Structure 1
Amino acid sequence: MANDTETAATRWAGMPLAARRDERRARLVAAAFALFGTEGEAGVSVRAVCRAGRLHARYFYESFADTDQLLGAVYDKVAAELTERLRTALEATGDDLAERLRAGIHGVLEFSSADPRRGRVLFTEARANPVLAGRREATQTALMDAVLQQETRTHPAADPRLARVRAAMFTGAMVELAQQWLAGGLGDDLDIVVEHAAALLLAQHPS
């Protein structure tokens, strides 16, 4: 680790302290993502993360109290990337509900499977770890609120309770759909899966 420490000192020479900390934190998050996304939670230890990130262990505790906190940062990063991907996809569509549904469903499934590590972080391993389970619940709540806002905007006269039930069902269905897609239970044709899912959701939506 001495050589790594020497290399790190050279790498950060002249860099402001805050920037050094940010760069080290980013390296730890990237290393944890790679380990967690391939080996699961069992593969993420302070030693393994620091080895993968080529950092001394003392730098771990500069940013994180423990590995749970680090895993939370990994989840937050991947969830933020998914949110941005969905925002971009939806901005490229018009106001047509069917078009927006297809774009949203495609965005979630394509993002999750383009790099299977993302799907493992968001939809698979997140079920077992208490820290990640809490974040996953918060993410689903945020998604449900976004769907509810869309529902209210397009159908302002709809029964609020019915709208919330529909938003909750859509959110739960998307999580299960993503898990099945990632597990290979839905085949390998993303476009067909998107069409089927959108058709089913539209059939339950008021005209």
Structure 2
Amino acid sequence: MSRPYRKLPPQIRAADRRAKLISAGVELVGTQGVSAMTMRAVCREAGLSQKFFYESFADTDALLHEVYNGTLRRVRDLVDEAATGGEGDWVRRRAGVDAAARLVAEDPRVCRILFVEPVADVRLRRYVRRSILALISADSDRSAVENGVTVASKLRYATLFGSLISLFIEWSEGNLGTDRAVFVDHVMAQLERLPGAGHVVVADEPVRQV
């Protein structure tokens, strides 16, 4: 029988090691990119020997998806919390956008993980759209409402999503000034151009490995 180390049972120590590996993955992908997240680099960043990596993850792809999912959950939870209690859809949505803007300014790793890296990494690219919805939508517990949209509407979505992604990246890198209210107002103005504005929501499901 395994004996607790420093009064911690084995499962708690394993969970702690897993959390350290994920944190290391966030730091590496968020500051240097996906290519920097090798097993050796992750273990070095986490301060763990490589033998512990397989305790939590089958490979670096599995860790990458956890890094992405965890970052997306962090954003979604923050947006939901900020939007709670507001009166009216516009007020709640603006509170969510403001919270997202504050987060990516304080932690630019968020934008790099969710938006920058997927451009070059095919494993993550398909999930960019879900990320921007998480950043701008307070209704993150339901499926995206897209039934019956036309090709023209999809083109508008694609154009505006690209614009919003670019805006958040530029804001996180400090290229759009420091007035968060001005930035949030501009994002809100863009959202008004979305088909069915005020009713866009995001699917509440994790990114699946492919």
**TM-score past 0.5 threshold:** yes
How big is each residue's C-alpha offset from its partner over 1:74-98, in whole Å with a ceiling of 9 and x where there is no partner? 111111110100001110311152x
Deviation digits for residues 165-201 of structure 1, max 9, x if unmatched?
4994665543232123224442222111112232344
Aligned counterparts, 1:140-179, within 5 A: 146=139, 161=149, 165=153, 168=157, 171-179=161-169
Partners of 1:113 and 1:182 within 8 A in 2: yes
Q: Distance in 2 between matches of 1:111 and 1:161?
A: 32
Helix, strand or coil for the counterpart of 2:178? coil
Q: Which moved more, 1:41-50 or 1:168-177?
A: 168-177
Contact 1:105 1:194 in 2 (8 A): yes
2:170 counterpart letter in structure 1 = Q
| Amino acid of the structure 1 residue aligned with 2:103 | F
User: What letter matches 2:18 in structure 1?
Assistant: R
* C-alpha deviation, 1:126, in angstroms: 2.5
Shift of the alpha carbon at 1:50?
0.8
Partner of 1:17: 10
Alpha-carbon contact 1:144-1:171 (below 8 Å) kept = no
Residue number in structure 2 paired with 1:122: 114
Do structure 1's residue 197 and structure 2's residue 190 form an aligned pair?
Answer: no
CA contact (8 A) 1:140 1:171 kept: yes
Q: Higher helix proportion, which one?
A: 1
The question of whether the paired residues in 1 share the 8 Å contact of 2:97 and 2:136 is answered with no
What's 2:44 paired with? 51
The worse-fitting range, judged by mean Cα deviation, of 34-43 and 44-53 is 34-43
Change beyond 3 A, Cα 1:70–1:182: same
Normalising by the residue count of structure 2, what TM-score does the alignment of the two structures yield? Answer: 0.72
Deviations 1:100-145 (A, max 9, x none): 2321221222211211112211121122222222443454577799
Question: Match of 1:75?
Answer: 68
* Higher RCO, Cα 8 Å, sep 6+: 2
Distance in 1 separating the partners of 2:30 and 2:82? 25
TM-score normalised by length of structure 1: 0.73
State how 1:22-101 maps to structure 2 within 5 Å.
22-97=15-90, 99-101=91-93
CA separation of 1:52/1:104 partners in 2, compared to 1, >3 Å: closer, same or farther?
same
Aligned residues: 190
The residue number in structure 2 matching 1:180 is 170
Moved more, 135-144 or 81-90: 135-144
Aligned residues: percent identity?
31
Residue matched to 2:102: 110
Cα distance between partner residues in 2 of 1:200 and 1:137: 15
Q: Distance in 2 between matches of 1:136 and 1:202?
A: 20
- Given that residues 94 and 100 in structure 1 are in contact (C-alpha distance below 8 angstroms), is that contact kept between their aligned partners in structure 2? yes
